[in-house]
Structure 1
Amino acid sequence: MHNETITHTLQGVREARDTLAAAHFPLETGGAGAARDLARKTVTQLDDYIIPKLSSLDAPLTVVVGGSTGAGKSTLVNTLIGEPVTRSGAIRPTTRQPVLLHRPEDAGAFTPERILPNLVRVPVEPGAALPGANPHNGQDELVMVPVPGLPAGVALVDAPDFDSVSDENRRLAKQLLAAADLWLFVTTANRYADAVPWEILREAAKRDITIAVVLNRVPEGSEDEIEADLTRMLAEAGITAALMMSVTEQDRDDQGLLPAVALTPLTFWLRSLGADADARSAIARRTLEGAVRGVAGQTHQLADAQREQEDAERALRQNLNDAYAHAFENVKESTKDGQMLRGEVLTRWQDFVGTGEFFRSVESTVGKIRDRISGFLRGTPPTKVVEVEQALEVGLHSVIMEEAAAAAETVQRRWLEDRAGRALLAGEDLGGQDKNFPEEIAESIRAWQQDVMDIISQEGADKRQKARFMSLGVNVTAVILMIAVFSMTGGLTGIEVGIAGGSGVVGQKLLEAIFGEDAVRRMANRARETLEARVKELLDRHAQRFEDRLNSLEMGPDHQALEDVAVTLTSAGETMMAGEQNQDG
């Protein structure tokens, strides 16, 4: 690939990496745990190998030596370089440092900025003993050992065992293998069919990584038979080994090394590879393209997991919105169907205006005897007005309180029925009432009563109208308007129509005589709108406890953003593949 193409591809991959790093999957959906692990794995693959390799395609090949416990990896590495540099032996520490062997002049190719950025480098002078691992520092380390005798263009990493008893060792082994240009798989005649290595080998096949295989401790005379069986198994897994060689059972020297001749095919192959820049480049590009393709596929999976998150969040929010929307509609209906003019409100209203018979007797001539009614109402004790206001407040308060409580209980129940909702509640009961909410309702109702007075004052700005409603008193006029709000669309039946409904109609007509029919309708509509706005505000505040839980979720990029990342990575892989083909051509 040309430098300009590499730069453009690298920029796109880095942006894709940042998007993937922002993916969180906070809701406990069925696939959330696996998605979080996959996202970490994907970002690690980009950080440890793909981005560094794209930045330096001409860097030495990183050959990771991996295998099962006791397969003889360290002995093989030490024999290759002709000295006991890496640790070997049947007993291995539970916390182990991988060792990277490189030529001294290649040290700059293996800094944290170039590969495996999260592993702390532990430099070792040539010929010096390896440092002991500190099991308490909580950091992954990579011991850097310069070895002048290594083939040019090649570095070896002695990785922890695939099947180590330590979870951390197994994790680190997989991380190192994911950062390899080439795998040197070391196994034995007795263990080459073990399940654990084959899980990792199948992952390697998906990445098109080049694999060389060393069969160690093969009984003399059984080499062909065992190699044939292993070759068959590799083929079934979609792998064609770049090198297959057997090492028979042999004695080691006093340094624990095998005879150098035992590894002649491997030594020759590595040296030939180191001397052939085009061959190294082809291996690196093929492995890199396979890694990018694999990450693109993983990103499609992450997009599906994110869609699941979005669906879960949407369902929880819908539960919340539906419950409180239902509560709001119920409160609205309660102020329209006559409920507010029953019981205590009806009693106090009757006490305020007198009997229904009186209002019916003046209904037909209300315009002519406005002054008579005004005089009657002016004679009503002020406490009667207050009692009607208080009765309305108590009735409204009760309705709002009950509906808010029912909504909260509904949301709590529905969230508990959902896995993601249960985790979001975290054992807390958000369905109970806030101790301050009753007072908030009372304050809001009093504020609405003031709203009604303000509407009257604004509508009655004309001097004649002002004189008329002031003759009644603002409070009295406000009470009549509030009753009109609750009775104009009321659903009272039977005797209640004759008492509350009839009285409300007369009160409404009295307001019409003062302000005019259109103005009264306009005033009633404004009063209802302000009431509904205040009720909506109250219910929204009550729902906020649930809303806050949802809003606290760090959802990260949406599924479409992740799909776009997958497309970007797929394109990057295709670009690399085209570059490899052009180079081959």
Structure 2
Amino acid sequence: MIFGRRQKSGQVPLGERITALSQAADLCRGRVDDALVNAALQAARRADERLGLGGEYTVVALAGATGSGKSSLFNGLAGAQIATAGVRRPTTDRTLAAWWGDTEPAELLDWLNVPVRRPLGRGRPELSGLVLLDLPDFDSTSARHRVEVERLLGLVDMFIWVVDPQKYADAALHERYLAPLAAHAGVMTVVLNQADRLTPEELRAASGDLRRLVDADGLGSTPLMVTSAMSGLGVDDLRRRIARAVRDRKVVTERLATDIDQAAVALAGQLGEPATMRLPRERLDALDQALAQAAGIPLVTRAVLVSSRHRGSLATGWPVLSWLGRFRPDPLRRLHLDLPALRGRGTGQQANPPAQVQRTALTGASGGVQAAQVSRAVRALSDDASRGLPAGWATAVRAASVSHADGLADALDHAVATTGLAMGRGRRWWGVVRIVQWLLFAVLVVGAGWMIINALLGGDLLPVPRWRRMPVPVLLMVGSALGGIVVAGLARLGVEVGARHRSADAQEALMLAVARVTDVAVIAPVESELERYEQARQAVATAKGEQ
């Protein structure tokens, strides 16, 4: 007598689901409970190994309590006295395997670690391809027997639970085995054995009560059969059910698919609902600004402005005043920026060896305020990026955002030091002005020398022509001085415009350099973690059989 059955199929090939589960578990490592990750990896490994052994043989296990008649039923199904039956506790001491077929499934039995094997050849052709196991009693007083039962329950393809009229309601059976294995209802059969000991009325009552208990365990689709190993009642029906399962060769993949699905569902529960993962533009800008402050970008751009003014005035000013101005410190050189090692940038020369970090005087200039601003900006970014993620993944995103914190100061300093400030750009006209200023200065010197020689030697040793009653030497002196002042004033306007352009260009270049540091030190690790989360979700979905 058979009471109901169920079949299950998946859309994604089982091999792909196994691979996806293994990948999902690896991706979840450190972000999900280790017990779930290890269980998923174990399920994937078991399934992969079982598939590798092929589907030529189907492993069916008879499990039951002491005195349930399990070994007698095993003999009845085999049609031979193979297992030792009796009332002694426990009767089955070691797992016994009987197999039907042309060749011994040695590799499969080795994987099952079942050394006691009984070949039955082709005595029953309908059972060809069957490996039937008689497990130790699950309620044995020997802990070793219980461990063996649970180990093999994790490996076999199909379960047949043999119960007797006296102990079919045993809580240990239902709470420890049937209910936890409810997901495998499609590859399970519950058998009420020893029916010969009951009257027809008692048998109907017992089978009805057992059906209710099995349904309560979540096994509503699991067949319930009634047998008697002594009278042979139902044994042929059970054998035909087993033969049909062996012939269809579906229970192997169904069992494995359920294992994979259970592990994938457990991981999915730790991944939560799909989250909107993005890095808000305003947070990225705030982080760039905080890092720019910490890197001293405002100080550098101010130094570029002042230094450009200083150098321009030296190049285009009155020669004497320019000479005196050289004693004033250059702001960029005081910061160890725009040094000779860096002036090669843009000329095809390498300013620094790849492994060398160019140091600047900015290192350590950013105080606790700037450091706190960077910390707040990074935290705000990671909080936004991890919003909606499960706790383990949110923690991983926050950890990724500070994974390069120790080297951040050096990276910023290196970025500032190796950014070309283009201080030599747009200065060709300075040379023209310098020539004009030196010519005017030379005229002034000629006029002054003319007057001095005549004054020292007396008389008019050197003739002094006049122009509109003014001595020409005086005109040369006054004209060159006024010309130098006018040229210097006009040049100063040009220097100021150029200085402001260089300061703006330097700020843009430095902000790009800081943004590259932000991308490498903060954004890339965070995006990598978010991508890992999405890959884990996709892998879990594939493992669950979703397209």
TM over 0.5: yes
* Residue identity matched to 2:174: W
8 Å Cα contact 1:64-1:158 kept in structure 2: yes
Offset of residue 305 of structure 1: 4.7
Cα 1:104–1:323 change in 2 (3 A) is: same
Partner residue, 2:512:
533
8 Å Cα contact 2:261-2:544 kept in structure 1: yes
Is 1:447 the counterpart of 2:447? The answer is no
- Tell me, in whole angstroms, the C-alpha distance in 1 between the residues paired with 2:163 and 2:50: 26
Offset of residue 389 of structure 1: 3.0
Partner residue, 2:494:
513
Q: Deviations over 1:207-266 (max 9, x none)?
A: 4335250435996665554334223434564146363125xxxxxxxxxxxxxx616235
Partner residue, 1:107:
104
Is 1:389 the counterpart of 2:334? The answer is yes
Cα 1:330–1:538 change in 2 (3 A) is: same
Cα 1:337–1:194 change in 2 (3 A) is: same
Offset of residue 384 of structure 1: 1.8
Partner residue, 1:363:
none
Offset of residue 531 of structure 1: 1.5
RMSD (Å), alpha carbons? 5.8
Cα 1:543–1:30 change in 2 (3 A) is: closer
Range with greater deviation from structure 2 (301-310 or 231-240):
301-310
Structure in which a larger fraction of residues adopt helix = 1
- Tell me, in whole angstroms, the C-alpha distance in 1 between the residues paired with 2:266 and 2:223: 32
Cα 1:533–1:156 change in 2 (3 A) is: same
8 Å Cα contact 2:99-2:131 kept in structure 1: yes
Q: 1:244 aligns with which of 220, 226, 229?
A: 226
Where 1:105 maps in the other structure, the secondary structure is: coil
- Tell me, in whole angstroms, the C-alpha distance in 2 between the residues paired with 1:176 and 1:184: 14
Partner residue, 1:211:
189
8 Å Cα contact 2:14-2:253 kept in structure 1: no
Partner residue, 2:392:
420
Where 1:155 maps in the other structure, the secondary structure is: strand
Unpaired stretches in structure 1, ≥5 consecutive residues:
1-8, 113-118, 122-139, 247-260, 354-365, 473-506, 570-585
Cα 1:469–1:437 change in 2 (3 A) is: farther
Partner residue, 1:378:
323
Q: Deviations over 1:188-222 (max 9, x none)?
A: 33432234533644545764335250435996665
Partner residue, 1:172:
151
Partner residue, 1:328:
288
Partner residue, 1:16:
17
* Residue identity matched to 2:418: A
Partner residue, 2:211:
231
Instruction: Give matches, 1:123-202, under 5 Å.
Output: 141-143=113-115, 145-148=117-120, 151-152=124-125, 153=127, 154-159=130-135, 165=143, 168-169=147-148, 171-177=150-156, 179-180=157-158, 183-198=159-174, 200-201=177-178
- Tell me, in whole angstroms, the C-alpha distance in 2 between the residues paired with 1:191 and 1:410: 66
Where 1:227 maps in the other structure, the secondary structure is: helix
Partner residue, 1:37:
39
- Tell me, in whole angstroms, the C-alpha distance in 2 between the residues paired with 1:242 and 1:508: 107
Offset of residue 64 of structure 1: 1.2
Partner residue, 2:461:
none
- Tell me, in whole angstroms, the C-alpha distance in 1 between the residues paired with 2:107 and 2:87: 26
Partner residue, 2:89:
90
Range with greater deviation from structure 2 (80-89 or 185-194):
80-89
- Tell me, in whole angstroms, the C-alpha distance in 1 between the residues paired with 2:492 and 2:114: 88
8 Å Cα contact 2:95-2:135 kept in structure 1: yes
Partner residue, 2:247:
281
8 Å Cα contact 2:400-2:522 kept in structure 1: no
Cα 1:78–1:20 change in 2 (3 A) is: same
Cα 1:232–1:307 change in 2 (3 A) is: closer
Query: What is the TM-score of this pair, normalised by structure 1?
Result: 0.56
Where 1:208 maps in the other structure, the secondary structure is: helix
Range with greater deviation from structure 2 (217-226 or 17-26):
217-226
Which entry has the higher C-alpha Rg, 1 or 2? 2
